[in-house]
Amino acid sequence: MRYISLFIFLFFLSACQNNSKEDQRAVEEITDPELVFNSEIIRNPVSARPEPIDTVNVAKMTFKEHHFDFGEIPEGEVVTHEYEFTNTGKVPLVITNGHSTCGCTVPEWPKEAIKPGGKGTIKVKFDTFGKAGPQAKPITIVANTYPSKNMLELVGIVGAPKQ
């Protein structure tokens, strides 16, 4: 019995010390500085560089307001609000996506590029059906800005439905 236990111990010990060339090469490729940023290039080309980021020459969304309180409304109504913004950057602004935490809050954004100094709006609709009590809906706008995510918030209280 002692020999069997010793054999099993040595087997597992040798299995954990596998230092083949393939294993070492895979680790080297993962830590290669040129490869680390490949996935970041897809998410945000501006930040996908190992050198310091020059945020002077990028698009920038400057909102009149990031937070809107719709007050108290009865359940079943649809709240609509437009967040106005200006591209205060030096290159055209391109919004690639907009989303919230649930399907009840839907943002609409301009599909065309907004020139530097140009203005635009993000229109948000919040359907209160099935929602009761205090509400806080974050809206994420993804664009060619630094950072790539711009946050907005819609808040208020949904009361009892109209009779």
Q: Where are the domains of the chain?
A: 2-54, 56-159
Cβ burial 75-108 (10 Å sphere, 16+ → b, else e): eebebebebebbbebebebbbeebebeeebbbbe
Per residue in 90-130, pLDDT (tens digit) is 999 999 999 999 999 999 999 999 999 999 999 999 999 99
What local confidence, expressed as pLDDT, does residue 40 receive? 46
**Residue percentage of the chain with pLDDT more than 90:** 61
The mean pLDDT of 55-78, rounded to a whole number, is 93
Which of the four pLDDT bands, split at 50, 70 and 90, describes residue 162? confident
State yes or no: cis peptide before 147, omega within 30 of 0: yes
Is the pLDDT at 142 greater than 80, yes or no? yes
What local confidence, expressed as pLDDT, does residue 13 receive? 54
What local confidence, expressed as pLDDT, does residue 44 receive? 53
CATH code linked to domain 56-159: 2.60.40.10
Per residue in 25-50, pLDDT (tens digit) is 444 444 444 444 444 444 455 555 55
- For the chain, the average pLDDT equals 81
The mean pLDDT of 36-65, rounded to a whole number, is 65
